[in-house]
């Protein structure tokens, strides 16, 4: 096996002369709260960046049984030229239309946004549908389109069993003819990313949480908690859903609420806003806050406003109009539209808007004054009783598409239904028009509504209660169990001191802090007051004189050397670190037993800390280390494929595979 | 891969003739160890405890399922009080879970849906459904893996036959072997002869092994083991003045630091229907385990704790603090020596109505004595030079020192040697590791009971072949 050379990687892959040897990293992982995503990357840049390719981990059943398509294929009975001009795709110019026989009037089109009928081959980290999973991997592989000499490093979910590793090995070698293949445990990868050899990795996924204790780069397989169900990002969504379903919110709405920056998990004991006097809080819409917090995932609209002057409250503020807003916000527009009542709906909305505008004009002066007064205050999200966010209504779009409208009609309807900031730019007649809105206005015209339909939704304090269903406690318990199951008692303390909370389920604002607080409040052992140095000063010691003559000398006690005159606890505390001074000098031939030989606390944890994320990955710093497993894999790929030239046996080569077969992977897996 | 024929040369893929895919299963009272032969630690360590939803036949297996408080969740164990499997149906399921969840994953899905918790008909249909395009089409979990299982030294014929039945009929294993834990623990230490002292959760056993064979009549067992120590700790808590509260983690919402000995000031959780007693007991065990790990110490000798001034000396030793989940904390002085003293000295055990005084012949020194007495006098020195200490409860602090003292008191000799592996995993999983070694030996291939032989001779073949 020729080693994979570093220079080859630094050289631009565009140069065809070189054998390309960038590592392809495939990471099966769970991403962006609540969505399962596969991320992958071809080649190792000099500075590690977040994954270049992100694919939703789902496939769609193709027409033929057992075959899979990466995108939803829709059947259209439309005229072919209409479909060719179809603007609804998020990735323009990628040739999304697969016109399948124009001679008939049946046209198949790919719909890259819709997820109707998708099959998700990975659930709770486990591969539940192998044929679909392999299809997904093939799709990812083809999307990267790697040259022939590309080694592959695959991040393995902790819950995958050795037998499944073998299956995967066989697949990669035989399907892709890869020259080298490595498997890396996701938790281990995270610890590589953070650059710590001992850590407890808490990976918060979509439906599950994995907790792994790693010491000296070796995961403790026996006690690790894998695939702990019901406490990932999905559980947070469900908790929101439980709270909001009574107001006829859909699950999808809750999902997007969770991803929006207004959803936050407050530290235990923080009073919910609105429980006290609700005065000015109500009058602030959150769009500005959404932009200024800079949290990811609030849609292109928010992104476009970042960097511009945030819109102050005013234009869209709906003062005292809560009931109305509620009703309107959660109406099932999708069914209205499919029911053919769209015109009525739009008319109603228009009317409401007029009313509001009138109301505003009436109290014009005061309202403006109030708005101005509010502007500088700008309460943090956690203090506001209500906030709004933009909801992208995929279902509505799906429904529109299914109605088989002409493309122009579709675009028009999309435009009408969309409530993104652009719309507001149009309708904000004469009121505060900021630069952001002016931009937005232009966008609205040029973009021609290619994305999903957005609607503004308002939500109360429910948005702080995503973790109210005991998710944090469950995870905390899992962490405690994992660390307690580490056999070497003396390693536990270090494990508690190096928690890594990663995974996209932990992206919700405040989640990590809240989880850490939950663990600390439950498991932290406080220094025992009995071991403090206040008690039992032996009475036969006289006050030390200036000469030091009366300073008590340590004396050896009768048994094992514990000094009898000094408070034994004091002695224990002071000698805890120095092995040779230990009173119970373990002369036994049982070295394993000396682990808890002497320290004032055999019990752990006496402190619980998070590991500080690494400083030297600027690109990662910007997006956060939630996908640290991928970063770790990049580091590992660099090390095992390039730096040590295969010395560490971090990957299996094709000759190895030919010799040993799939079972050989266990000798190589990291 | 033909695993049954020992005369053919091993294929190149098999390292030194290892049967890499053989699975070693070592079920114990507290945990089940399972893993692939040839590896140095079991990959799968599952609790033997399982959950059952009251008044239904729904079972919950695995760590994740049995630690969440639920109002009607009963925590059970399939072992009987005599150290023999009692509930075979569930035992088979728990074992299967231990193997499939972390080793083979033969059946897709999580425990709720993988068929383990449904009726068997459904599961087969589902399995074939999902595995359509997989590389090997498995219907039974172990169709391609020979299975080496361990058993306690006192396992009756009926239980042994039942084990091979499950392996062959339910799991479809191509080959099977049953070996006693004592022999395997000796192998793990590289010994063919010796006395194996195994202090587990429910039982302590002392097994004399000569040339890889167990001397059956010499096997001693006693209920004085880890669970006994736990009970002693509970008793100690109860009898102390004032009573020490034992609050498991799940009852506590958050705690605040308090002074040593003063009542806890914690916020407790409230349950509309409190979880069952068995659940609470199981969760309390977790606290007690922590207590054992960080506080309990065995009086290392010389002499017993109650001898002469020993107790005074113990009192003068530094205490060790312990904090309960609810924040209550105290420094434990001489009390921490008392918890496990009963293992060695029956008269020192704490007692009450429910916990009568243990029998003298159940203490460790007496067990060793009884076991050695069943061996020919000329072979006793050989055994005493190879005293293998294994089992999780032997990790109690100073256990080895005391055992060494006790044995030397009975058989004074300078050549008595305690073999207690240092690394904790080797101590805890000795029997499994021995199994892993045994099953990966090329020469072991001829010992397997093949499926064909089983079909020919029936379950009773296990009596003839596995001695």
pLDDT for the residue numbered B372: 93
Q: Based on the domain organization, do A11 and A128 belong to the same domain?
A: yes
pLDDT range class, residue B166, cuts 50, 70, 90: very high
Q: Does A171 reside within a domain?
A: yes
Contact predicate A667/B21, CB 8 Å: no
How confident is the model over B348-376, as pLDDT tens digits?
Answer: 898 888 888 999 999 999 999 999 999 99
Residues A270 and A184 occupy one common structural domain: no
Q: Which of B265, B320, B422 to mutate to test the interface with A (most CBs of A within 10 A)?
A: B320
In a domain, A126, yes or no: yes
Nearest 10 degrees: CA dihedral of B114, B118, B119, B122? -50
Which residue has better confidence, B227 or A257?
B227
Rounded to the nearest angstrom, the minimum Cα separation between A571 and chain B is 9
Does pLDDT of A162 surpass 80? Answer: yes
Minimal Cα–Cα distance from A186 to chain B, Å?
16
Residues A321 and A175 in one domain: no
pLDDT score of A575:
46
Judged by CB atoms closer than 8 Å, whether chains meet at A603 and B327 is answered as no
Q: Is the pLDDT of residue A445 over 60?
A: no
Taking the Cβ of residue A53 and every Cβ of chain B, the question of whether any pair is shorter than 8 Å is answered with no
| Confidence grade of residue A336 (pLDDT, cut at 50, 70, 90) | low
List, as own/partner pairs, every contact residues A617-622 make where C-beta atoms lie below 8 angstroms and the sequence separation is at least 24, other chains included: A617/A47, A617/A48, A618/A47, A619/A47, A619/A48, A619/A49, A619/A50, A620/A48, A620/A49, A620/A50
Of A523, A531, A590, which has the smallest distance from its Cβ to B422's Cβ? Answer: A590
Residue A105: φ, ψ to 5°: -95, 10
Nearest to A115 by CA among A403, A340, A452: A452
Which among A406, A440, A464 is the end of a domain? A464
User: Mean pLDDT over residues B331-342, rounded?
Assistant: 89
Cβ contacts of B21 within 8 Å, gap of 6 or more: A663, B1, B36, B37, B144, B145, B146
Nearest to A161 among B104, B286, B423 (CB): B104
pLDDT at A141: 84
* Residue among A516, A603, A665 with most chain B CBs within 10 A, to mutate: A603
What is the rounded CA–CA span in Å between residue B64 and residue B131?
A: 26
Residue A304 CA: distances (Å) to CA of A201, A433, A437: 35, 15, 10
State whether A314 and A448 are in the same domain: yes
B135: nearest CA partner in chain A: A167
Alpha-carbon distance A65 to A67, whole Å? Answer: 6
A270 shares a domain with A179: no
What does the buried/exposed string (b/e) look like for A435-470 if buried means 16 or more CB atoms within 10 Å of the residue's CB? ebbebbbebbeeeebebbbbbbbbbbbbbbbbbebb
A270 in the same domain as A161: no
Is the CB of residue A512 less than 8 Å from the CB of residue A590?
no
Does residue A136 lie in a domain region?
yes
Tell whether A310 and A191 lie within a shared domain. no
Of A400, A435, A464, the one marking the end of a domain is: A464
What does the pLDDT average to over A640-649?
Answer: 76
Q: Are B67 and B59 in contact (CB under 8 A)?
A: no
State the Cα–Cα distance between residues B10 and B29, nearest whole angstrom.
37
Assess if residue A82 is contained within a domain: no
Q: Does residue A528 lie within any of the structural domains?
A: no
What is the reported pLDDT for B200? 92
Residues B315-330 have a mean pLDDT of 88
Looking at the structure, do residues A168 and A271 belong to the same domain, yes or no?
A: no
Quickly count: other Cβ atoms within 10 Å of residue A611's Cβ: 23
Short-list A390, A309, A385, A321, CA closest to A357: A321
Subunit contact B401:A588, Cβ cutoff 8 A: yes
Average pLDDT over residues A319-331: 41
Q: Do A526 and B295 touch (CB under 8 A)?
A: no
**pLDDT value at residue A348:** 73
> What is the average pLDDT across B42-58?
89
User: Does the pLDDT of residue A374 top 80, yes or no?
Assistant: no
**Mean pLDDT for chain B overall:** 85
Per-residue pLDDT band for B45 (boundaries 50, 70, 90) equals very high
Of A162, A603, A661, nearest to B43 by CB-CB distance is: A162
The 8-class DSSP code of residue B169 comes to I
What pLDDT sits at residue A119?
A: 82
Residue A296 has pLDDT above 80, yes or no: no
Per the listing, tokens 């893993």 go with B35
Which residue out of B275, B299, B321 would a mutagenesis test of the A interface target, given it has the greatest number of A Cβ atoms within 10 Å?
A: B321
CB atoms B130 and A227 under 8 Å = no
What distance separates the 2 farthest-apart alpha carbons in chain B? Answer: 74
Burial readout A488-514 (b: 16 or more C-beta within 10 A, e: otherwise) = ebebbbbbbbbbbbbbbbbbbbbbbeb
Structure tokens at A406: 């002409």
Q: Which residues of A touch B285 (CB under 8 A)?
A: none
pLDDT value for B224: 93
Residue carrying structure tokens 């060494």: B404
Which residue has tokens 């080793």?
B103
Question: Do A602 and B249 count as a contact with CB atoms less than 8 A apart?
Answer: no
Domain count for chain A, please give it.
Answer: 2
For residue range A564-580, list pLDDT tens digits in order: 344 445 444 444 444 34
Note whether residue A407 is domain-resident.
Answer: yes
Based on the fold, state whether residues A190 and A321 are members of the same structural domain. Answer: no
Same domain for A41 and A180, yes or no, is yes
Flag whether pLDDT at A533 surpasses 90.
Answer: no
DSSP E strands, B65-216: 73-77, 147-151, 175-180, 194-199, 204-210, 213-214
Instruction: Please indicate whether, in this complex, the C-beta atoms of A603 and B321 are within 8 angstroms of each other.
Output: yes
Whether A184 is covered by a domain: the verdict is: yes
A603 touches chain B (CB under 8 A): yes
At residue A299 the predicted structure's pLDDT band, cuts being 50, 70 and 90, is very low
pLDDT one-digit tens code per residue, B177-211: 999 999 999 999 999 999 999 999 999 999 999 99
First to last CA, chain A: 19
- Give chain A's mean pLDDT: 66
Percent of chain A with pLDDT over 90: 6
Q: pLDDT per residue over A6-15, tens digit each? A: 333 322 222 2
CATH of residue A160's domain is: 3.30.420.40
Of A296-300, A409-413, B393-397, the least confident? A296-300
The answer, yes or no, to whether residue B61 has pLDDT greater than 80, is yes
CB neighbours of A402 closer than 8 A, spacing ≥ 6? A338
Phi, psi of A118, rounded to the nearest 5 degrees: -75, 150
Check CB contact of A419 with chain B, cutoff 8 Å: no
CA–CA min distance A244, chain B (Å)? 24
Q: How many helices (H) and strands (E) does chain B have?
A: 16, 19
Task: List, as ranges, residues 177-216 from A with C-beta within 8 Å of B.
Answer: none
Q: What is the pTM of this model?
A: 0.78
**Total CB pairs under 8 A between chain A and B:** 195
Residues A308 and A183 in one domain: no
Distance CA(A83)–CA(A106), nearest Å, equals 11
Q: What is the mean pLDDT of residues A279-300?
A: 39
Residue span of the structural domain in which A317 resides: 266-275+304-342+380-464
Residues A131 and A31 in one domain: yes
Q: What is the mean pLDDT of residues A249-269?
A: 80
pLDDT (0 to 100) of residue A278: 37
Tell me, what's the pLDDT at A339?
62
B234, B227 contact by CB (below 8 A)? no
Cross-strand partners of A153: A25, A182
Task: Give the C-alpha distances (Å, rounded to integers) separating A473 from A133, B129, B360.
Answer: 32, 37, 45
Distances, alpha carbon A289 to alpha carbons A271, A329, B9, B79, in Å: 20, 19, 72, 60
Q: Is residue A151 part of a domain?
A: yes
Q: Is A225 on the interface with B (CB under 8 A)?
A: yes
ipTM of the prediction = 0.88
What was the pLDDT predicted at A603?
A: 81
| Residue at a domain's end among A418, A436, A464 | A464
Yes or no, beta carbons of A129 and B108 under 8 Å apart: yes
Q: What is the pLDDT of residues A170-208, one digit of tens each?
A: 998 988 888 888 888 889 999 999 999 999 999 988 888
Residue A40 phi/psi, 5-degree rounding, is: -150, 160
Bridge-based pairing state of the strands B252-256 and B320-323: unpaired
| Structure confidence by residue, pLDDT tens digits, A419-442 | 655 444 343 343 333 333 334 333
Provide the pLDDT for residue B19. 46
């Amino acid at each position: 096996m020729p080693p994979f050379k570093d220079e080859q990687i630094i050289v631009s892959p565009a140069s065809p002369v070189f054998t390309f040897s960038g590592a392809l990293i495939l990471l099966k992982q769970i991403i962006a709260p609540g969505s399962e995503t596969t991320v992958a990357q071809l080649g190792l840049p000099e500075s590690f960046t977040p994954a270049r390719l992100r694919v939703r981990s789902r496939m769609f059943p193709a027409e033929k049984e057992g075959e899979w398509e990466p995108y939803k294929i829709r059947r259209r009975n439309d005229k072919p030229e209409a479909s060719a001009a179809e603007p609804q795709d998020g990735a323009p110019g990628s040739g999304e239309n697969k016109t399948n026989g124009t001679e008939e009037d049946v046209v198949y089109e790919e719909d890259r946004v819709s997820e109707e009928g998708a099959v998700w081959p990975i659930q709770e980290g486990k591969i539940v549908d192998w044929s679909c999973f392999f299809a997904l991997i093939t799709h990812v592989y083809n999307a990267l389109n790697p040259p022939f000499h590309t080694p592959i490093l695959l991040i393995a979910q902790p819950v995958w069993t050795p037998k499944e590793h073998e299956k995967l090995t066989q697949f990669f070698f035989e399907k892709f003819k890869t020259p080298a293949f490595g498997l890396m445990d996701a938790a281990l990868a995270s610890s590589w990313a953070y650059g710590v050899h001992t850590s407890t990795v808490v990976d918060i996924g979509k439906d599950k949480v994995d907790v792994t204790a790693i010491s000296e780069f070796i995961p403790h397989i026996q006690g690790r908690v894998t695939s702990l169900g019901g406490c990932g990002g999905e559980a947070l969504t469900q908790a929101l859903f439980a709270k909001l379903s009574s107001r006829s919110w859909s699950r999808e709405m809750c999902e997007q609420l969770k991803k929006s920056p207004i959803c936050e998990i407050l530290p235990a004991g923080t009073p919910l806003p609105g429980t006290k006097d609700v005065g000015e809080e109500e009058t602030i819409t959150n769009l500005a806050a959404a932009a200024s917090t800079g949290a990811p995932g609030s849609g292109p609209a928010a992104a476009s406003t970042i960097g511009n002057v945030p819109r102050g409250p005013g234009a869209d503020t709906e003062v005292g109009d809560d009931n109305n807003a509620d009703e309107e916000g959660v109406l099932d527009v999708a069914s209205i539209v499919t029911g053919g009542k769209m015109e009525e709906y739009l008319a109603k909305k228009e009317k409401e808007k007029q009313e509001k505008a009138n109301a505003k004009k009436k109290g014009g002066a005061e309202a403006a004054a109030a708005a101005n007064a509010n502007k500088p205050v700008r309460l943090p999200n956690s203090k506001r009783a209500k906030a709004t966010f933009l909801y992208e209504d995929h279902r509505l779009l799906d429904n529109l598409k299914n109605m088989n409208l002409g493309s122009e009609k579709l675009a028009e309807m999309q435009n009408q239904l969309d409530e993104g900031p652009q719309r507001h730019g149009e309708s904000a007649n004469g009121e505060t028009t900021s630069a952001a809105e002016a931009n937005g206005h232009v966008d609205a015209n040029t973009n021609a509504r290619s994305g999903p339909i957005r609607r503004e939704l308002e939500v109360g304090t429910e948005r702080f209660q995503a973790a109210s269903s005991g998710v944090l406690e469950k995870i905390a318990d899992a962490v405690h169990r994992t660390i307690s199951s580490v056999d070497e008692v003396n390693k536990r303390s270090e494990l508690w001191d190096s928690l890594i909370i990663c995974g996209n389920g932990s992206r919700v604002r405040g989640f990590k802090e809240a989880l850490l607080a939950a663990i600390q409040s439950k498991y932290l052992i406080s220094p025992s007051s009995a071991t403090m140095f206040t008690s039992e000063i032996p009475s036969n010691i006289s006050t030390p004189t200036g000469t030091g003559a009366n300073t008590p000398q340590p004396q050896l006690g009768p048994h094992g050397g514990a000094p009898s005159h000094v408070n034994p606890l004091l002695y224990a505390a002071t000698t805890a670190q120095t092995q040779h001074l230990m009173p119970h000098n373990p002369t036994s031939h049982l070295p394993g037993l000396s682990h808890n030989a002497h320290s004032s606390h055999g019990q752990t944890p006496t402190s619980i800390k998070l590991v500080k994320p690494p400083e030297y990955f600027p690109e990662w710093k910007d997006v956060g280390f939630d996908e640290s497993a991928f970063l770790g894999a990049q580091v590992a790929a660099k090390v095992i494929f390039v730096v040590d030239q295969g010395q560490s046996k971090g990957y299996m080569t094709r000759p190895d595979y030919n010799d040993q077969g799939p079972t050989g992977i266990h000798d190589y897996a990291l | 891969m033909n695993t049954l024929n020992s005369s053919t040369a091993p294929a190149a893929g098999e390292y030194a003739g290892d049967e890499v895919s053989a699975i070693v299963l070592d079920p114990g009272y507290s945990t089940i160890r399972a893993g692939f032969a040839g590896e140095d630690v079991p990959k799968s360590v599952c609790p033997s405890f399982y959950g059952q939803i009251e008044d239904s036949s729904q079972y919950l297996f695995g760590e994740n399922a049995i630690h969440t408080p639920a109002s009607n969740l009963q925590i059970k164990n399939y072992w009987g009080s005599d150290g023999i499997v009692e509930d075979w149906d569930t035992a088979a399921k728990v074992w299967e879970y231990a193997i499939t969840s972390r080793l083979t994953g033969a059946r897709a899905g999580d425990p709720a849906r993988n068929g383990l918790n449904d009726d068997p008909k459904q599961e087969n249909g589902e399995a074939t459904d999902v595995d359509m395009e997989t590389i090997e089409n498995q219907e039974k979990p172990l169709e391609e893996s020979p299975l080496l299982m361990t058993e306690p030294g006192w396992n009756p014929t009926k239980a042994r036959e039942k084990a091979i039945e499950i392996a062959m009929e339910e799991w479809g294993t191509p080959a099977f072997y049953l070996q006693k834990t004592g022999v395997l623990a000796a192998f793990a230490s590289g010994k063919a002869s010796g006395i194996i002292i195994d202090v587990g959760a429910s039982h302590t056993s002392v097994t004399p092994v000569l040339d890889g064979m167990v001397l059956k009549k010499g096997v001693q067992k006693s209920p004085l083991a880890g669970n006994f120590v736990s009970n002693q700790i509970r008793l100690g808590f109860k009898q102390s003045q004032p009573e020490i509260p034992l609050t498991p983690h799940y009852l506590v919402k958050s705690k605040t630091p308090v002074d040593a000995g003063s009542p806890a000031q914690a916020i407790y959780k409230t349950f509309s229907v409190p979880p069952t007693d068995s659940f609470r007991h199981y969760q309390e065990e977790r606290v007690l385990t922590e207590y054992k790990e960080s506080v309990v110490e065995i009086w290392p000798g010389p002499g017993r704790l109650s001898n002469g001034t020993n107790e005074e000396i113990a009192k003068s030793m530094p205490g060790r603090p312990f904090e309960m989940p609810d924040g209550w904390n105290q420094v434990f002085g001489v009390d921490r020596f008392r918890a496990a003293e009963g293992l060695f000295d029956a008269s020192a055990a704490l007692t009450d109505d429910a916990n009568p005084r243990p029998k003298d012949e159940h203490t460790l020194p007496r067990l060793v004595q009884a076991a050695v007495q069943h061996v020919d006098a000329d072979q006793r020195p050989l055994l005493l030079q190879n005293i293998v200490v294994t089992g999780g409860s032997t990790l109690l602090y100073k256990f080895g020192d005391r055992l060494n003292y006790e044995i030397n008191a009975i058989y004074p000799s300078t050549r008595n040697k305690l073999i207690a592996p240092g690394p904790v995993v080797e101590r805890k999983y000795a029997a499994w590791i021995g199994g892993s070694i045994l099953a990966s030996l090329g020469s072991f291939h001829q010992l397997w009971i093949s499926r064909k032989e089983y079909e020919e001779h029936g379950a009773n073949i296990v009596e003839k072949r596995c001695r």
